[in-house]
Amino acid sequence: MPLAAGESVSAPFKLNYDALYVIEIVAEPRIPLDQLHCLLGPEADTVSCKNTPSVITAAWTVSSDGRELRRGDSNELHSMPAQPEAVTRVIGEFPGRAGESYNLQVTFRANAQQLADANPRLRVAVASIAYTDLESAGVLVFAAAFICVMFGAILLGVAWLPRKRDQ
């Protein structure tokens, strides 16, 4: 990820689910966590971060086949990170379709050299709310399969009992 103001990064990617996706900056906790949270902002505690403002200001666009689909800014409100336990800052979100090829371009407006030791990187991931929906669908499919298996076992048992009694 570029750390100098005015630099851009562009990356093609392909999606595997129809879902809401988030564009995140993920950092490793190689600097004190309080400082790292302040540098990533904006969810950081404003009182403890008054001397360490956020260095993340970025504009992004997502395109497909040369057409711009979405654009946004890191200062807008976004969904929760895909992995809330990681040190992450969501800078954008967009709806994606499985099998489609996309291109992400992010332009950083501020100098973020203070994050260099944390090895920041960009990541596109299924939004946590969409991931929860996928997990719920998996549980529903498992429950339906379990009910079908149990119903089939009961029917086999009912069919087997009269034959057992006749012998």
CATH number at residue 15: 2.60.120.790
Give me the chain's average pLDDT, please: 82
Domain co-membership, 43 together with 103: yes
Q: In what order do the strands lie in the sheet with 121-126?
A: 87-96, 19-27, 121-126
pLDDT (mean) for 60-74: 92
Q: Does 111 lie in the same domain as 84? A: yes
- The residues facing 22 across adjacent strands are 93, 125
- How does residue 80 score in pLDDT terms, banded at 50, 70 and 90? low
Residues 132 and 121 in one domain: no
Q: Are 82 and 128 in contact (CB under 8 A)?
A: yes
Q: What is the DSSP letter of 116?
A: G
Please report where in the chains the tokens 């990541």 appear, as a residue.
123
Q: Are residues 67 and 100 in the same domain?
A: yes
- Strands annotated E in 7-128: 8-14, 19-27, 58-64, 67-73, 87-96, 101-108, 121-126
In a domain, 148, yes or no: yes
Indicate the SS3 state at residue 114.
Answer: helix
Return the higher-pLDDT residue of 157 and 58. 58
Are both 153 and 84 inside the same structural domain? Answer: no
Q: How confident is the model at residue 41 (pLDDT cuts 50, 70, 90)?
A: confident
Could you report the per-residue pLDDT of 94-131, keeping only the tens digit for each? 999 999 999 999 999 888 888 888 889 889 988 865 44
Poorest-pLDDT segment among 27-31, 32-36, 49-53, 163-167: 163-167
Q: 71 vs 153, which has greater pLDDT?
A: 71
CA distance 114 to 157: 69
Check residue 59 and give its pLDDT.
Answer: 93
Nearest alpha carbon to residue 129 among 93, 105, 99: 93
Count CA atoms closer than 13 A to 95's CA, side-chain side. 1
Query: Between these two residues, 159 and 45, which has the higher pLDDT value?
Result: 159
Asked whether residue 16 falls in the same domain as residue 64, the answer is yes
pLDDT at 102: 95
Paired tokens of 89 = 């800052």
CB atoms under 10 Å from CB of 99, counted, come to 10
Domain that holds residue 142: 128-167
**For position 134, what pLDDT does the model report?**
57
Q: How far apart are CA 131 and CA 136, in angstroms?
A: 9
Q: Is the pLDDT of residue 136 over 60?
A: yes
3-state secondary structure of 122: strand
User: In this structure, what token pair is assigned to residue 46?
Assistant: 């404003």
Count: domains in the chain? 2
The predicted model scores a pTM of 0.69
- 3-state SS class at 40: helix
